Structure 1
Amino acid sequence: MEDYYVHPTSIVDAGASIGRGTKIWHFCHIQSGAKIGDGCSFGQNINVANNVVIGNGVKVQNNVSLYEGVELEDYVFCGPSMVFTNDLTPRARYPKGHMGYKKTLVRHDATIGANATVVCGHTLGEFCTIAAGAVVTKDVLPHALMAGVPARQIGWVCKCGQVLDKNLHCPDCGTQYLFVDEKAGICKCGGGE
């Protein structure tokens, strides 16, 4: 007996792997070779393409397509109708196939807001937050808050999800961070949790 839930309107192709406690709701398609971890939640109208890798505890809201080349680590949140791409120069007449796809890696606990777009070939750092409607065109540092078109960093975010104040202090959980450098970003230095 399966230890995950698939709504009767959804399709799971042979060869897909789905972890315990995962819930797949209305009108989803999980394609062959997809690997989905434990305790995930997929809203309605989700497509998970061939060979996509998804960690544990991931939440994907309605109307998201996870194309081949996308990897989501544990506890990533994908907001409604956000978009991943996997080809920088697509042409209907000249398809490249999976060998031409660029990888996109979303590190653990990252959040991508509603209607945001992640252009392929980039890594989104752990605990980062991509604002609703933003268009990511470069790598994102851990804990970075990104907004705009193209997305640019406008602040830092605590691991609990709250925007840090100008002193890199979290007003919700009390965690204090320190700035390391422009390539590494920030690090936790105590307080809170």
Structure 2
Amino acid sequence: MNFYVHPSSYVDEGVIIGEDTKIWHFSHIQKGAKIGEKCSLGQNVNISNNVQIGNGVKIQNNVSIYEGVELEDYVFCGPSMVFTNDLTPRSKYPKGAEGYKRTLVKYGASIGANATIVCGNTIGRWAMIASGAVVTKDVPDYALMTGIPAKQKGWVCECGHVLKNELKCIECEREYNLSNGVLTEAK
């Protein structure tokens, strides 16, 4: 075993956990889940059946990653943020896995504490979702999203700093190009 699971946590059979990953107190990893290398799952994290999590992902306390959600490499999920996987849930009429809407969180995106991600949407690379925001539509790469429902309030650098008037980061000096509402890193 080249990973750590706290004794209070449960890992079902058929789970794959990458090297140097740490799973902390009172967490449950359900069958068929795949977790990459060098991930950190905080206290009281639930990873549902067949969920795919990339390398270097950080999931803070009290987060559930439901079936239908996929996290690419280096995604950050803040404390108590929420994913959904069913747009029309009914206790009396469960849909099962085939009824769940897919949600994709792309490489390097960050989701703040207590944010909600409504299912069926994609969060772009290096996007930043503010604490408490409610995402109800696709999010572009590098977008800064705030509010309820979340609206784009600007752009963020790969390093996480908000880009101001110029599309050059004052922190790390990366430069970006904006064309037709799409931000890309300048080469």
Q: TM-score scaled by structure 2?
A: 0.99
Residues 47-126 of structure 1 mapped to structure 2, 5 A cutoff = 47-126=46-125
What code does the residue aligned with 1:111 have? S
Deviations 1:123-150 (A, max 9, x none): 0000000000000000000000000000
Shift, 1:181, TM fit: 1.1
- After superposition, give the CA deviation of every residue in 1:17-69 in whole Å (9 maximum; x if it has no partner): 10000000000000000000000000000000000000000000000000000
Secondary structure in structure 1 of the residue aligned to 2:183: strand
Distance across 2 between alignment mates of 1:136 and 1:55: 21
For 2:89 and 2:96, the matched residues in 1 are separated by: 10
Q: Equivalent residues in 2 for 1:1-193 (5 A)?
A: 2-182=1-181, 185-190=182-187
For 2:19, give the aligned amino acid: R
**Normalising to structure 1: TM-score of the pair?**
0.96
Gaps of 5+ in 2: none
**What do you get for the CA RMSD once the two structures are aligned?**
0.6
After superposition, the C-alpha distances for 1:169-192 in whole angstroms (9 at most, x for unaligned) are 21100112111112xx111115xx
- How many residue pairs get aligned? The number is 187
Q: Which runs of 4+ in 1 moved over 2 A?
A: none
Aligned counterparts of 1:91 and 1:17: Cα–Cα separation in 2: 31
Q: What displacement does 1:81 show?
A: 0.1
Q: What SS is found at the alignment partner of 2:98?
A: helix
AA aligned opposite 1:64: V
Q: Which one-letter code corresponds to 2:186 in the other structure?
A: C
Amino acid at match of 2:9: S
Report percent identity of matched pairs: 64
Structure 1 gaps, min length 5: none
